[in-house]
Amino acid sequence: MTSYEFTCPDCQRSITVTDPMRAATLANGCPVCGRSVTEGNFAL
């Protein structure tokens, strides 16, 4: 499964996420602080 490196633009937390977690984060926001995030906050 592909994993991505998510970096929150607000709390700066970096989290490795899988595809479903990436989709959930895009839908619900940062899992740490709840800020809404965009595709650009994920790197392979």
Q: What does DSSP assign to residue 34?
A: -
- For residues 23 and 10, give the distance between their C-alpha atoms in angstroms, rounded to a whole number: 18
Minimum Å distance from CB 3 to Zn ion?
18
- For residues 1 and 13, give the distance between their C-alpha atoms in angstroms, rounded to a whole number: 22
- Residue nearer to Zn ion on the CB measure, 1 or 43: 43
Question: Does residue 23 bind Zn ion (CB under 5 A)?
Answer: no
Q: What does DSSP assign to residue 33?
A: T
Minimum Å distance from CB 33 to Zn ion?
3
Question: Does residue 24 bind Zn ion (CB under 5 A)?
Answer: no
Residues at the interface with Zn ion (CB under 5 A) = 8, 10-11, 30, 32-33, 35
